[in-house]
């Protein structure tokens, strides 16, 4: 195995803007209230690790199209249908955030690593290659003005490794797509890369279907704190998950629960114990839920098929610290399940502008008592195929180490079960958090 220093060598070979491969409509498209929410201007970052074609002989592999070339070609083709992604975020004459369909294109960077994916453990944690070496960060000639990053919608970097495998680094504007929407576009690129004439799912804009609540409150942006939360990735076995689910079934006399519910309940409980919150102090877990079914219940026609804009609701579940730390994990599962059941009613009230005391359900806070959860396991990233098979590993990345987060992802392809990527406790609580997570009640 190479040394970590040698393994981390990444060379950017070229950068360019990839425009749609055919003419596309021009003009401004409106964004929904949720698309325009202040925190959506962030670029969501992730790494997608592909092993390459294991069954290809050397001669066939030499003649095959390189991953960077195949993905660049497919991007240009997919952008014909998904032409808003080739535009730029702008402010309309009315002062609203919009997509200006300029057809300019998306940033694309081609890079090469001097090592194999095995040398760097397929980017398992800890990363043996700095993430910013694998993410697309454009460079500009000294005489030019760099584009403001928050006007860009998509940046892509394909890094080829010496083994034939590659890593696709994405930076995708949350203002234009939520998680399922971003995965839908990546899947469309895969469709084109594998030779389809058009994306298998035709895209729709559909932003007018998203509620624009009268007088909806918009909370303050998260305030940075001096507390630095520690990154910890944990692989959870299938046996562990099935044990907790079976015990819940037994405890409730026949009610079933999901892997997400038991794992998030366990993480919320373990974190509350490790952090040592005082009895009586409120603790919270917040998780984004797909609001498409709730939207359809409101009347009208809901979102059109193929819509890739933001359509989610952040559910908040709160309890006194001792009700989480001292209860059985199965009681905590019940709290989360009861919270999930509130989605249709809460979303309907929010859509009508009936918020409880002006509370903003979408607010992200740096309050240490609040844990923000995301479920990446079913978004569709793990099924994207550019012609080399599905990724062996998808790595969501976080940049704000003062916001307590927990992300559920699929583990590497050879590991059954689930993976929790957490950044939710301070350094002095990491060991206690990890030990409690690994203990089966």
Per-residue pLDDT 10s for the chain (441 aa) are: 344 444 469 999 999 999 999 999 999 999 999 999 999 999 999 999 999 876 555 555 556 789 999 999 999 999 999 999 999 999 999 999 999 999 999 999 999 999 999 999 999 888 899 999 999 999 988 777 788 888 999 999 999 999 999 999 999 999 999 999 999 999 999 999 999 999 999 999 999 999 999 888 888 889 999 999 999 999 999 999 999 999 999 999 999 999 999 999 999 999 999 999 999 999 999 999 999 999 998 876 789 999 999 999 999 999 999 999 999 999 999 999 999 999 999 999 999 988 777 789 999 999 999 999 999 999 999 999 999 999 999 999 987 899 999 999 988 777 788 999 999 999 999 999 999 999 976
CA dihedral 406, 410, 415, 417 (to 10 degrees): 70
Q: CA dist 245 to 233, 249, 288, 430, Å?
A: 22, 6, 22, 25
**139 and 285 part of one domain:** no
In a domain, 407, yes or no: yes
- Tens of pLDDT, residue by residue over 162-204, are 999 999 999 999 999 999 999 999 999 999 999 999 999 999 9
Domain shared by 154 and 31, yes or no: yes
Report pLDDT for 216. 85
Same-domain pairing of 32 and 154 = yes
Q: Are residues 415 and 322 part of one domain? A: yes
Assigned domain for 221 exists: no
Where a domain ends, among 203, 221, 252?
Answer: 203
Residues 246, 189 share a domain: no
**What is the overall mean pLDDT for the chain?**
92
- Return the CATH number at 182: 3.30.559.10
Q: Assess contact for 359 and 316: CB atoms under 8 A.
A: no
User: Which residue is catalytic, options 48, 104, 174, 178?
Assistant: 174
Strands 393-396 and 106-113: unpaired
- 292 belongs to a structural domain: yes
Domains identified in the chain, total number? 2
pLDDT for 338: 96
Instruction: State residue 149's pLDDT score.
Output: 86
Q: Are residues 155 and 243 in the same domain?
A: no
Same domain, 195 and 308: no
CA distance 218 to 175: 16
- d(Cα 3, Cα 120) in Å, to the nearest integer? 9
Asked which of 203, 219, 237 is the last residue of a domain, the reply is: 203
| 180 lies in the same domain as 329 | no
Query: Do 294 and 375 share a domain, yes or no?
Result: yes
| Residues 188, 62 share a domain | yes
| H/E element, 89 | strand 88-91
Whether 345 is covered by a domain: the verdict is yes
Which of 203, 237, 270 represents a domain boundary (last residue)? 203
- Has residue 87 been placed in a domain? yes
Evaluate whether residue 222 is within a structural domain. no
Catalytic residue among 121, 331, 385, 401: 385
Residue 208, in any domain of the structure: no
Q: Are residues 134 and 58 in the same domain?
A: yes
Structural domain including 306 reads 229-438
Q: Is 99 helix (H, G, I), strand (E, B) or coil?
A: strand
- Whether the Cβ atoms of residue 380 and residue 409 lie closer than 8 Å to each other: no
DSSP string over 14-31: EEEEE--SS----EEEE-
Active site residue 174: yes
Residues 173 and 32 in one domain: yes
Tell me whether residue 199 is in a domain: yes
Q: What is the pLDDT of residue 330?
A: 95
């Amino acid at each position: 195995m190479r040394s970590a220093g040698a393994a981390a060598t990444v060379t950017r070979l070229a950068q360019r803007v990839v425009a749609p491969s055919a003419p596309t409509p021009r003009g401004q498209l409106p964004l929904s209230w949720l698309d325009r929410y202040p925190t959506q201007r962030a670029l969501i970052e992730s790494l997608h690790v592909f092993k390459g074609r294991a069954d290809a002989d050397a001669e066939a592999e030499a003649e095959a199209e390189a991953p960077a070339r195949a993905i660049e070609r497919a991007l240009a083709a997919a952008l014909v249908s998904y032409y808003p992604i080739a535009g730029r975020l702008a402010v309309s004459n009315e002062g609203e955030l919009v997509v200006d369909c300029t057809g300019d294109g998306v940033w694309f960077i081609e890079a090469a690593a001097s090592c194999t994916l095995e040398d760097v453990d397929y980017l398992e944690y800890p990363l043996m290659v700095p993430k910013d070496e694998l993410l697309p960060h454009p460079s500009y000639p000294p005489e030019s003005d760099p584009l403001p990053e928050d006007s860009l919608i998509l940046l892509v970097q394909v890094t080829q490794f010496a083994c034939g495998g590659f890593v696709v680094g994405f930076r995708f504007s949350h203002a234009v797509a939520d998680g399922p929407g971003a995965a839908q576009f990546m899947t469309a690129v895969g469709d084109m890369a594998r030779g389809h004439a058009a994306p298998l799912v035709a895209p729709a804009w559909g932003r007018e279907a998203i509620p624009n609540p009268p007088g909806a409150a918009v909370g303050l942006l998260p305030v940075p704190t001096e507390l630095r939360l520690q990154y910890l990735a944990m692989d959870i076995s299938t046996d562990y998950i099935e044990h907790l689910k079976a015990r819940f079934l037994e405890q409730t006399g026949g009610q079933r629960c999901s892997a997400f519910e038991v794992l998030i309940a366990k993480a919320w409980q373990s974190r509350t114990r490790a952090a040592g919150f005082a009895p009586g102090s409120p603790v919270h877990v917040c998780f984004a839920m797909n609001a498409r079914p709730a939207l359809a219940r409101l009347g009208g026609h809901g979102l059109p098929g193929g819509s890739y804009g933001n359509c989610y609701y952040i559910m908040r579940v709160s309890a006194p610290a001792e009700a989480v730390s001292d209860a059985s994990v199965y009681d905590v599962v019940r709290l989360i399940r009861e919270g999930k059941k509130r989605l249709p009613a809460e979303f309907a009230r929010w859509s009508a502008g009936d918020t409880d005391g002006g509370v903003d359900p979408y607010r992200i806070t740096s309050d240490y008592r609040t844990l923000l959860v995301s479920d990446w396991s079913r978004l569709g990233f793990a099924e994207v195929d550019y012609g080399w098979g599905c990724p062996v590993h998808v790595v969501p990345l976080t940049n704000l180490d003062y916001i307590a987060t927990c992300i559920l992802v699929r583990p590497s392809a050879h590991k059954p079960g689930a993976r929790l990527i957490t950044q939710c406790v301070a350094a002095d609580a990491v060991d206690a958090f990890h030990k409690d997570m690994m203990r089966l009640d």
